[in-house]
Structure 1
């Protein structure tokens, strides 16, 4: 049985063509590709690539300036943060939430819209494996080209489970019996009809949006569409800690807001979603609100204006 795509690049001694991440004494990272006869240069001196070729991962090399660097293969979270970018990348904290909360499993059939720089595509491909299917859609050809280069650089070549189409998802989606759909785009509500037709009953729609207005409109549109259960929405924030002796405190900098995530599950055909029984917050559907969801709110308890 052959190894999964990219597995050979993740273990064993360093080889020509491997990505190497150096960490200097101050914790700064430098990433490069091993080539025979080449040298890595810093303002603290240089060392030959040949010194690492054949060496075990976790080796320490010293430059001509006698500065020690720890050599490891970059983890996927490290790789996506340092990859060349066309569009902004999906941060590892959000990619991890998508993999967990959208329940991405080996062999899953996944559709992704908005490939960006290939960050989320790489996480999805590693989760579904060679026997899964990831069909990514990207409107911009230049972003698609950058994403292709980034994904193939990480896996060592084309991934057998990946197809990339340049164009709008709602105009080009032809996949059926899809397990998961991930939307990283400006207006995910425009794709709900196409997504609903493609998803299997019980399948998951996951949307990643940047602003509260996008989140609100997407949630209300999902409710209005009538083929999904009640959506869930959230965000994640990551704060690292400084730990040194008795000096234990949160770091001054943290990865705060990057985007909002929301998920909803496809209902069986012909099933109407149960009405929400909780009362909307006061003012949520007042006189000034013109978006979707007002009728359902009224049916489940009336608008705040009606309740006085």
Structure 2
């Protein structure tokens, strides 16, 4: 028998799932109604039901009441910028070995999609320190992060870390750079990372990759890998399984590297005095 934690309560988020392309992520309130092409869904009817149950609309269609995952929050968040999709973020986390309890640095908060994903991994003792210069973008990201319940695991910083003489994070376990010119942040990112710690930069074009790789070598990073993640879904139906005509193709290139020491003289870190 399901416990109380499996029952839907007011002010919780629920994914109303009709099919793969028709689903709605909503915050349940007693008097609200969701009007859709398959009928009206009353929020009050969901309260007290178990996650996984289904509701019938006034048009005799039904939706399943699903507990949202980090993937659902990511795909349904408000976009202020191009987001990092789960097909990239999952590989990023695996390639960099992101774990619970780690300290992660993110340069370029954007809409907070990747911030939310990283926070969901490093919680409860780890933290994501994210930096951005656009107050409007950060306000949207803050709402998206809060919606997914990750606020307490994220430290937001409005500052241009590229121009800062000091850095507020030391001995970070990993770093992410999501800027149009990621190489400009490499010196400061290097100062915040532990030795051998991994980083990844998100690049829309191959020209950016070329310049970035040169700068990574100049800033003493090694284990450099550039890749692209392509996701193709399959329409699996008895007797007529085929590739989907819809899919997510190219969204970004990823460039991974790890902090190293090329010479005998140790480089400065965030803990070193100016």
State the TM-score, normalizing by the size of structure 1.
0.80
Which residue in the other structure is 2:177 paired with?
183
Aligned pairs for 1:206-245 within 5 A: 206-225=200-219, 227-245=220-238
Question: Does the 8 Å CA contact 1:21/1:72 hold for their aligned counterparts?
Answer: yes
Which residue in the other structure is 2:252 paired with?
259
Question: Does the 8 Å CA contact 1:180/1:204 hold for their aligned counterparts?
Answer: yes
Which residue in the other structure is 1:279 paired with?
none
Q: CA deviation at 1:128?
A: 0.7
Q: CA deviation at 1:93?
A: 0.5
Question: Does the 8 Å CA contact 2:70/2:120 hold for their aligned counterparts?
Answer: no
- Give the SS at the match of 1:147: helix
Which residue in the other structure is 2:157 paired with?
165
Gap regions ≥5 residues in structure 2: 266-274
Question: Does the 8 Å CA contact 1:138/1:166 hold for their aligned counterparts?
Answer: yes
- Give the SS at the match of 1:71: strand
Aligned pairs for 1:99-138 within 5 A: 99-138=93-132
* Distance in 2 of aligned mates of 1:57 and 1:237: 32
- Give the SS at the match of 1:261: strand
Which residue in the other structure is 1:5 paired with?
none
Question: Does the 8 Å CA contact 1:115/1:144 hold for their aligned counterparts?
Answer: yes
Which residue in the other structure is 2:89 paired with?
95
* Distance in 1 of aligned mates of 2:12 and 2:73: 12
Which residue in the other structure is 1:14 paired with?
8
Question: Does the 8 Å CA contact 1:183/1:206 hold for their aligned counterparts?
Answer: yes
Q: CA deviation at 1:67?
A: 1.4
State the TM-score, normalizing by the size of structure 2.
0.89
* Distance in 1 of aligned mates of 2:100 and 2:18: 36
* Distance in 2 of aligned mates of 1:95 and 1:149: 20
Report the count of equivalent residues: 259
Q: CA deviation at 1:60?
A: 1.1
Q: CA deviation at 1:103?
A: 1.2
Q: Quick check: 1:85 aligned with 2:79?
A: yes
- Give the SS at the match of 1:202: coil
* Residue from 37, 61, 82 that aligns with 2:31: 37
- Give the SS at the match of 1:207: strand
Q: CA deviation at 1:94?
A: 0.7
* Residue from 178, 189, 193 that aligns with 1:195: 189
Question: Which deviations, in whole Å up to 9, do the C-alpha atoms of 1:179-228 show, x marking residues without a partner?
Answer: 11110111111111111222111111211111101111101111122x21
Q: CA deviation at 1:39?
A: 2.1
